[in-house]
């Protein structure tokens, strides 16, 4: 390399390190005019392209560099991150593997390989890669943060906090670490500590809209509604198209009884929303407010998100706060009608497994279905189920070639308005004398079902009678009970037991 080229390259690297990307790029290109196959210039141009968000150009330039010298681990490592930005996870892993084959102690490649695995949902494998990076460099702040985030995603928040705290001893002014730490505290329902953490984030980065939104959610959980509203409004002022903030703003206003303002917030969220699943949740909230037509059922993503959030404290909240009675009431009702010998039992919307203790003693096989992976994780810990499946009820039932002696659905149909498909699917997998027991919230309105402002459906008894007759069931027991409490008021439910004829 000539002295002139060397000097130009050093100037370019100096500019690059100072964040002067345009000046660095111009000098790298000047090097290439003289030496078109200059590895460092091509490789570093690839890095600049990635920094600018042009992953496709980054891949092109990095592959050009590798074609010149395939023995440089750094180029393979950088190619991996660019490929990951394009969503090409398997190709990214292959690039990291090549980098690590050339340089086994390449801590950054282990960390970035962990990020790719985490994006693929392979969390234990991701943790293994972060561990490798940290064994090579125990003071690797980014790897500590990433390992903590992976543990967050596994609901291991106490372990995550240990990593975040250690990372903060190394870089105490890092807003990303403070944010991740606050989020784990929020997930642990340590709302005051979480709010304090988000305040630190906002001190370091005043326009951090996610911190403002999450701060608002914590305040909402603490029923400090006015302060929550202020936090959402700050986030929206900075980012007017922030759909999540508008949605949570609407939820808070609804809890305050400010229905018109809540509807306006939901409508604004809808206007900015480009995600079909998120839009379904917003429209569901509007339907519950009576603004648009009632959908046939709750959006699957709404149910999954709702119960994923509840999973770790669901039983405590239902039993101690809401005085939830349905599993005991329903299990007692169906026990009078099931056959004496053990049978094949199905728990629809099984949640954390509150019905399992009642069903297990008489079940030869007990299967649970739910839309929330995290609820199923809690159900799995009971050890009472033979099988657990994450699926939508009707879809799963349609695929079965087995018959069930008992199907039970405790507080599940409050998230399904039109029950015709569920009844048809259940009837298909039940022989004569099989038992179908479930609960629904009551309504005395003439409609078959209504969607309440609580975002839960209520069904008329006349509708349930028609469905039973249509799908070959006979009602053998029906009662009205107090299912739970909501804001201090009793919520009434029908407890029904049907026999397949």
Q: What is the pLDDT of residues 151-172, one digit of tens each?
A: 999 989 999 999 999 999 999 9
Give the burial string for 368-396 (b: 16+ CB within 10 Å, else e).
bbbbbebbbbbbeebebbeebebebbbeb
Angle between the 107-119 and 73-85 helix axes, to the nearest 10 degrees?
20
Contact between 252 and 274 under an 8 Å Cβ cutoff? The reply is no
3-state helix, strand, coil in the chain (%, to 5): 60, 15, 25
Superfamily per CATH, domain 173-293: Tetratricopeptide repeat domain (1.25.40.10)
Furthest C-alpha separation in the chain? 94
pLDDT in tens, 51-66: 999 999 999 999 999 9
- 30 three-state secondary structure: helix
- Long-range contacts: 250-259, Cβ < 8 Å, 24+? 250/285, 251/220, 251/285, 252/216, 252/220, 252/225, 252/228, 253/229, 254/285, 254/289, 254/453, 255/220, 255/225, 256/225, 256/229, 259/289
Rounded Cα–Cα distance for residues 116 and 84 (Å): 7
Q: What is the pLDDT of residue 386?
A: 97
Cα Rg of the chain (Å, integer): 28
- Alpha-carbon 248 to chain mean position: 16
Residue 496 has pLDDT above 80, yes or no: yes
Contact between 134 and 151 under an 8 Å Cβ cutoff? The reply is no
Residue 346 has pLDDT above 80, yes or no: yes
Q: What is the pLDDT of residue 40?
A: 92
Burial environment of residue 121 by CB neighbours within 10 A (0 to 12, 13 to 18, 19 or more): exposed
Residue 457, beta-bridge partner list: 451
Architecture of domain 1-104: Alpha Horseshoe (1.25)
Contact between 125 and 89 under an 8 Å Cβ cutoff? The reply is no
Q: What is the average pLDDT across 264-291?
A: 94
pLDDT in tens, 301-338: 888 887 777 656 554 555 554 456 788 889 989 999 99
How many CA atoms lie less than 13 Å away from 367 in the CB half-sphere? 19
Q: What is the pLDDT of residue 288?
A: 93
Q: What is the pLDDT of residue 203?
A: 97
Contact between 408 and 334 under an 8 Å Cβ cutoff? The reply is yes
Average pLDDT across the chain, whole number = 93
- 431 three-state secondary structure: coil
Specify the domain boundaries for CATH 1.25.40.10 within the chain. Answer: 1-104, 173-293
Q: What are phi and psi of 271, to 5 degrees?
A: -65, -30
Residue 41 has pLDDT above 90, yes or no: yes
More confident residue, 403 or 444: 403
Q: What is the average pLDDT across 6-27?
A: 93
Rounded Cα–Cα distance for residues 164 and 183 (Å): 11
Contact between 492 and 482 under an 8 Å Cβ cutoff? The reply is yes
Residue 1 has pLDDT above 60, yes or no: no
Q: How confident is the model at residue 482 (pLDDT cuts 50, 70, 90)?
A: confident
Specify the domain boundaries for CATH 3.40.50.150 within the chain. Answer: 305-500
Superfamily per CATH, domain 305-500: Vaccinia Virus protein VP39 (3.40.50.150)
Contact between 177 and 147 under an 8 Å Cβ cutoff? The reply is no
pLDDT in tens, 413-441: 999 999 999 999 999 999 999 999 999 99
For CA atoms 294, 299, 303, 308, the dihedral sign is negative
Q: What is the average pLDDT across 349-360?
A: 91
> What tokens does 311 get?
């999973």
Q: What is the average pLDDT across 175-202?
A: 97
CB atoms within 10 A of CB 67: 12
Residue 253 has pLDDT above 70, yes or no: yes
């Amino acid at each position: 390399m000539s002295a002139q080229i060397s000097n130009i390259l050093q100037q370019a690297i100096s500019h690059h390190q100072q964040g002067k990307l345009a000046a660095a790029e111009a000098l790298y290109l000047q090097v290439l005019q003289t030496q078109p196959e200059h590895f460092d210039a091509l490789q570093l141009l690839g890095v600049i392209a990635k920094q600018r968000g042009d992953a496709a150009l980054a891949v092109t330039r990095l592959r050009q560099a590798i074609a010149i010298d395939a023995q440089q681990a750094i180029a393979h490592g950088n190619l991996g991150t660019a490929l990951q930005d394009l969503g090409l996870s398997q190709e990214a892993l292959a690039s990291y593997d090549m980098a690590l084959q050339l340089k086994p102690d390449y801590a950054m490649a282990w960390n970035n390989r962990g990020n790719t695995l985490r994006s693929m949902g392979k969390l234990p494998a991701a943790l293994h890669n972060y561990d490798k990076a940290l064994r090579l460099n125990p003071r690797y702040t980014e790897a500590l943060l990433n390992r903590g985030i992976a543990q967050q995603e596994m609901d291991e928040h106490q372990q995550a906090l240990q990593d975040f705290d250690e990372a903060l001893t190394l870089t105490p002014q890092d807003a990303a670490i403070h944010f991740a730490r606050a989020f784990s505290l929020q997930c642990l329902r340590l709302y005051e500590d979480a709010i304090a953490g988000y305040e630190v984030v906002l001190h370091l980065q005043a326009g951090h809209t996610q911190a403002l939104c999450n701060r608002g959610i914590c305040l909402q959980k603490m029923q400090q509604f006015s302060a929550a509203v202020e936090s959402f409004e700050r986030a929206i002022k900075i980012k007017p198209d922030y759909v999540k903030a508008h949605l949570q703003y609407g939820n808070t206003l609804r809890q305050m009884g400010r229905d018109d303002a809540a509807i306006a917030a939901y409508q604004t969220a809808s206007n900015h929303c480009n995600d079909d699943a998120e839009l379904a949740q917003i429209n569901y909230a509007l339907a519950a407010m009576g603004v648009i037509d009632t959908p046939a059922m709750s959006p699957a993503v709404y149910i999954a998100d709702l119960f994923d959030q509840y999973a770790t404290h669901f039983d405590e909240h239902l039993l101690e706060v809401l005085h939830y009675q349905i599993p005991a009431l329903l299990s007692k009702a169906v026990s009078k009608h099931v056959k004496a010998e053990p049978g094949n039992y199905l728990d629809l919307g099984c949640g954390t497994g509150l019905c399992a203790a009642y069903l297990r003693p008489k079940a030869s096989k007990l299967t649970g279905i739910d839309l929330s992976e995290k609820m199923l994780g809690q159900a799995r810990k009971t050890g009472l189920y033979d099988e657990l499946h994450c699926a939508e009820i009707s879809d799963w039932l349609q695929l079965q070639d087995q018959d069930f002696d008992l199907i039970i659905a405790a507080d599940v149909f409050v998230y399904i308005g039109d029950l015709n498909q569920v009844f048809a699917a259940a009837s298909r997998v039940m022989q004569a004398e099989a038992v179908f027991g479930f609960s629904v919230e009551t309504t005395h309105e003439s409609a078959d079902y209504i969607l309440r402002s609580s975002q839960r459906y209520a069904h008329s008894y006349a509708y349930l009678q028609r469905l039973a007759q249509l799908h070959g069931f006979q009602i053998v027991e029906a009662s009205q009970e107090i299912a739970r409490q909501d804001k201090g008021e009793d919520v009434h439910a029908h407890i029904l037991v049907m026999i397949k004829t």
